[in-house]
Amino acid sequence: MARSPEEEHPQKAFGWAARDNSGTLSPFNFSRRDNGEDDVTIKILYCGVCHSDLHSAKNDWGFTSYPVVPGHEIVGAVTAVGNNVNKFKVDDKVGVGVLVDSCKKCDCCHQGLENYCPQMIFTYNSFSSDGMKTYGGYSDIIVVDQNYVLRIPDNMPLDAGAPLLCAGITVYSPMVYYGMNQPGKHLGVAGLGGLGHVAVKIGKAFGLKVTVISTSPKKESEAIDRLGADSFLVSTDPAKFKAAIGTMDYIIDTIAAVHALAPLLSLLNINGKLVTVGLPEKPLELPIFPLVIGRRLIGGSNVGGIKETQEMLDFCSKHNITADIELIRIDELNEAMERLAKSDVRYRFVIDVGNSLSK
Ligand code: NAP
Ligand code: ZN
């Protein structure tokens, strides 16, 4: 007989889970595995609220296994280390992102591309090698193999640093891999939410000219004055849009919903590149003419490997980059999810898990 989430493992844990596709989150008792030889146990202090958490809570992608405890922008303090752990000690401030394990044997794993390992284990809504379900960071503790744990730089605030563990690496990795980081070039950031606002900051740190492409005119002054974007394009303003055609070298598309690619591709210069990291619930239509006629490329990217995630955290620490956050109590989570669905967040909700999660 299948064991209940409370009985799967010996360490008692508590968090908030969605039980069905209403996406409504509520308190949930479950358990974590014992701290193994290679593991660290982390007391979770903060956890960012990524749109992927919302997609998962609502089963937008069709593969949610309920109950689901979302959360993969986790920052906390180490409370226990196994005998083989040499990277971390008790009280260290650490982070956990989107993945908590992989096969460690394949070419991807050997190259530090655990995020493309066919057997990658996601932080939640996945099954670990012992066949047990994984639960994410909207919870009090997590147990993770030290090789999938990140060090939070000393100068980085723990709350505003948390979103870098998914939003940060998801935009940093493709910018580096696709060479979208050459100083002086022009980057368009489509969608100014959690991922998008960090892309603006990282783009500026790479020395790029950055234009935000948004459906929300009210975000314009913040994008320029607070986040450092050079210009702001309202995607529904035909005159401004026309003037920007063919001006961009790269676009990073972070839009969370189904949208047209043709207008975005029209903004690219010859040889321009559009990388999509947003994961709408339905396929997008792919217009071929703008690709062929302008020798343009379209690509995708899935978070980043562990080594590169550490590199990104150190890069952000050096450039004083963190997320702009709205810190919430865990009992404000359902309201926050409703606002996230309406693109009404400046620019990432972060749950103050340490101070607000109690039974
Ligand atoms: P978010 O904070 O909700 O931001 C998404 C932004 O997309 C919104 O703020 C909004 O920006 C824009 N948008 C939303 N609906 C739109 C629509 N119908 N048409 C045009 N624009 C729309 O979400 P996020 O946390 O940044 O995540 C963005 C997407 O990336 C999600 O689909 C998420 O699942 C995915 N994701 C992928 C990876 C990966 O590894 N590839 C990692 C993390 C997240 P404006 O108000 O500016 O228009
Ligand atoms: Zn995420």
Nearest CA to ligand 1 atom 46: 216
**Ligand 1 atom closest to Cα of residue 215:** 48
Ligand lying nearest the CA atom of residue 214: 1
Nearest atom of ligand 1 to the alpha carbon of 167 = 43
Mean pLDDT of 131-154: 97
**Given this model, what pLDDT does residue 2 score?**
65
Q: What is the mean pLDDT of residues 251-259?
A: 97
Whichever domain contains 134, its CATH number is: 3.90.180.10
Residue owning the nearest CA to atom 13 of ligand 1: 255
CA–CA separation, 67 vs 72, rounded Å? 16
319 belongs to a structural domain: no
Model pLDDT for residues 161-218, shown as the tens digit of each residue = 999 999 999 999 999 999 999 999 999 999 999 999 999 999 999 999 999 999 999 9
Q: How confident is the model at residue 167, as a pLDDT? A: 98
Partner residues linked to 351 by β-bridges: 47, 328
Report yes or no: 301 and 174 within 8 Å, Cβ to Cβ: yes
6 lies in a domain? no
Residue 1 predicted with pLDDT over 60: no
Q: What are phi and psi of 98, to 5 degrees?
A: -80, -25
Residues 131 and 141 in one domain: yes
Count the domains in the chain. 2
Ligand 1 site residues, Cβ closer than 6 angstroms: 50-52, 55, 166, 170, 191-196, 214-216, 219, 254-257, 259, 277-279, 301-303, 340, 343, 345
Is cis: bond before 138, omega within 30 of 0? no
Residue 258: predicted pLDDT: 97
Rounded to whole angstroms, the Cα distance separating 136 from 15 reads 9
Q: Sign of dihedral through CA atoms 259, 263, 269, 271? A: positive
- Residue 85: per-residue pLDDT: 98
Burial 170-195 (b: 16+ CB within 10 A, else e): bbbbbbbebebbeeebbbbbbbbbbb
pLDDT of amino acid 10: 87
Task: Report how far apart the first and last C-alpha atoms of the chain are (Å, whole number).
Answer: 28
pLDDT in tens, 83-119: 999 999 999 999 999 999 999 999 999 999 999 999 9
Contact between 117 and 102 (Cβ < 8 Å): yes
Q: Which residues pair with 30 in a beta bridge?
A: 13
Domain contains 262: yes
Single-letter amino acid code for the residue at 342: K
Please tell me whether residues 189 and 155 are part of one structural domain.
Answer: no
Question: Nearest C-alpha to atom 9 of ligand 1 is from which residue?
Answer: 193
